[in-house]
A and B are shown apart, each in its own frame.
Chain A
């Protein structure tokens, strides 16, 4: 083993939120390898108490600036499950399409702006504007079509306005959907060039066996609601999410940690792919095979590739969804809501993994108790265990401090953590 190593990263850059990395190896022994989360909590679960049901999606969307659509949809589903509301087919399709477009914009943001600079020795995407203008223009183009689609369906790309309990305040203009479809067809060229770009990047060779948790697909690659599954063979109902997450607090983090069959588990694109590979669009599955990405893959850096595969899947599935929507007459956008006493739980796959919202309502439709379990919160313990294994393995290989620091940063970034979201 390498004799000594000292890595201290304060407020890791190119991730959402505030986290620190410490690695210390002294006299050939690992003294410390830790992933600290120092983000200030906002106490969403407490601030909701006493608020009427219609406040929940509006306030909870603000848990996250990247996946506000996912949080809004999870919150809506939890309220609807509590009140026994079943969304119409039209609402179901529009919500899935909206979610797909958020997944696309979030993954592209991560792949190009947050992850890629590490592979080309840049501190950010900004210098690439000069050195690789066509690559940056392609990233902007892909993100723009996804964000424009979110504007068309959700009212806006961040903190959506049309999405409400019972459906939508209004339906999108079909001509605009048609335009989005044409642009998504064009985006497939950009995505195949994105695949070639990532194929040229050396993905670090590191694996640590872990458990992967996600929704369980039943005929489709799953995004909104359904059973929960893990690669260790656990299967549970959506409403039993608390037994799937088993949250607990630790000193090194203001976000809670989670565990299931082992000390830690992982959620996100790689977990979804590991559990639902057969349900990927055939084109996406083929691309995955070409990267050597098949279930169960235990290399956390491959989450980047899994996100790329999902970009292809959601783009192709969105084109299908828009075709189906265009072929049908518009129905009423919104169904009436009647509140009642009870509890509702929602599990939704957002870009960074499976997200749960749970609310208990009194007879007036006011929130008595609420709970949100965030994907990155579920990943923190897994990041910690990876970091330790990585420090030992790479230090033994005689790598320099600067190299270990970069590989550790890349490891955390590959989870695409949303730290302020995880603390909420």
Chain B
């Protein structure tokens, strides 16, 4: 760990806390997955609460990193308390930013999904919501999962008081810069042309088409992408599957479903 001063000048290590709501906790694990740089990262901040990794807890923190979406009243109440305590609230990952895969259940009537999974057993759950539906969010870190290099850069900027900016361009640009093969040429659907960059074309780099986990890029032309996908003979179902997976493109999905006659909320009959 580095000293608390550099060249005799005291360093400010912000007090940070990590919290999770409805999620897989993978984004927090990405922080612990920083083996090579974890120790340097920890020297930048003072971790005062991180339930997944430590027993101690304090409500005295400046930056709160929050993972997950909100699906129950007690979660909303806890989130409001965190908002009160934190000077900066950071939404970490697709679930926190857009609802993530959790919002896929919002396609259905909530009574039906409970019946489908728990039968008659009573269970409390509401539609999955992103953090910004409940509280003000100061900063969003996109991705499912978040990328550790990006988190480190963002935290360093926060510590140094530098502005945090996200790329405005789409994943496609990063893919081209990396000389990747275009997946449309090998018959794979890909949301790279409309998804916000910053992941260094993580999935297309492994020849796996983008599913849009980082949400739309600035001025993303989704209508044009839909035409491109249709030209490549991808079905409306495939286009919808891609666009609705992580919740970042929900307005476009609603429009597409309306246009193609697929209603937003299907009421399913339970079959047991």
Question: B-contacting residues of A (Cβ < 8 Å)?
Answer: 11, 13-17, 40-43, 45-47, 49-52, 54-55, 58-59, 62-66, 68, 109, 113-114, 117, 123-126, 129-130, 136, 140-141, 143-144, 147, 155-159, 161-162, 164, 169-170, 249, 254, 369, 420-421
Contact = CB atoms under 8 A, between A and B. Distances in A.
A161 B202 CA distance: 8
Contacts of A41: 71, 117-118, 123, 125
4 nearest interchain CB pairs? A65-B26, A124-B54, A155-B206, A123-B55
Given A15-B52, A65-B26, A114-B53, 8 more contacts: A41-B123, A46-B108, A46-B112, A59-B245, A124-B54, A126-B54, A161-B208, A254-B123
B33 A140 contact: no
B166 to A, nearest CB: 20
B83 interface: no
Nearest to A154: B206
Interface in B26-82: 26-30, 32-33, 35-36, 38-39, 42, 47, 50-57, 71-72, 75
Contacts of A126: 42, 47, 53-54
Contacts of B56: 123-124
30 contacts: A13-B54, A14-B52, A14-B53, A17-B25, A41-B123, A43-B125, A46-B108, A46-B113, A46-B116, A46-B117, A47-B108, A49-B116, A52-B237, A52-B241, A59-B245, A64-B24, A65-B23, A68-B26, A109-B29, A113-B53, A124-B50, A126-B47, A141-B35, A147-B33, A155-B203, A155-B208, A158-B145, A161-B208, A164-B208, A420-B23
Contacts, number: 167
Given A40-B75, A155-B206, A169-B206, A51 B123 contact: no
B234 to A, nearest CB: 11
A46 B238 contact: no
B241 A66 contact: no
Contact of B105 (A16, A46, A369): A46
Nearest to A147: B33
Contacts of A59: 101, 104, 245
Contact of A45 (B25, B55, B117): B117
A113 to B, nearest CB: 6
A195 to B, nearest CB: 20
A170 B57 CA distance: 44
Interface in B169-224: 202-203, 205-208, 211
Contacts of A155: 202-203, 205-206, 208
Contacts of B162: none
B168 interface: no
A40 B72 contact: yes
B1 interface: yes
B32 A109 contact: yes
Interface of B: 1, 21-30, 32-33, 35-36, 38-39, 42, 47, 50-57, 71-72, 75, 100-102, 104-105, 107-108, 112-114, 116-119, 121, 123, 125, 128, 144-145, 202-203, 205-208, 211, 237-238, 241, 245, 266, 268, 271
Contacts of B52: 13-16
B104 A47 contact: yes
A63 B32 contact: no
B110 to A, nearest CB: 9
Select the residue from B28, B50, B118 with max chain A CB neighbours within 10 A. B118
Given A52-B237, A169-B208, A158 B117 contact: no
B152 to A, nearest CB: 15
Contacts of B101: 42, 47, 59, 62
A43 B39 contact: no
Contacts of A66: 25-26, 29
A284 to B, nearest CB: 24
A421 B1 CA distance: 34
Select the residue from A46, A58, A64 with max chain B CB neighbours within 10 A. A46
Given A42-B105, A158-B29, A63 B207 contact: no
A146 B241 CA distance: 32
Contact of B35 (A45, A68, A144): A144
A66 B24 CA distance: 8
A125 B52 CA distance: 11
Contact of A13 (B32, B51, B144): B51
A177 to B, nearest CB: 16
Contacts of B107: 47, 50
A62 to B, nearest CB: 5
Contacts of A13: 51-55, 57
Contacts of A170: 206-207
B208 to A, nearest CB: 4
A47 B105 contact: yes
A113 B54 CA distance: 9
A123 B54 contact: yes
B148 to A, nearest CB: 10
A45 B116 contact: yes
Nearest to A160: B206
Given A40-B125, A62-B101, A420-B23, A55 B39 contact: no
A249 B114 CA distance: 13
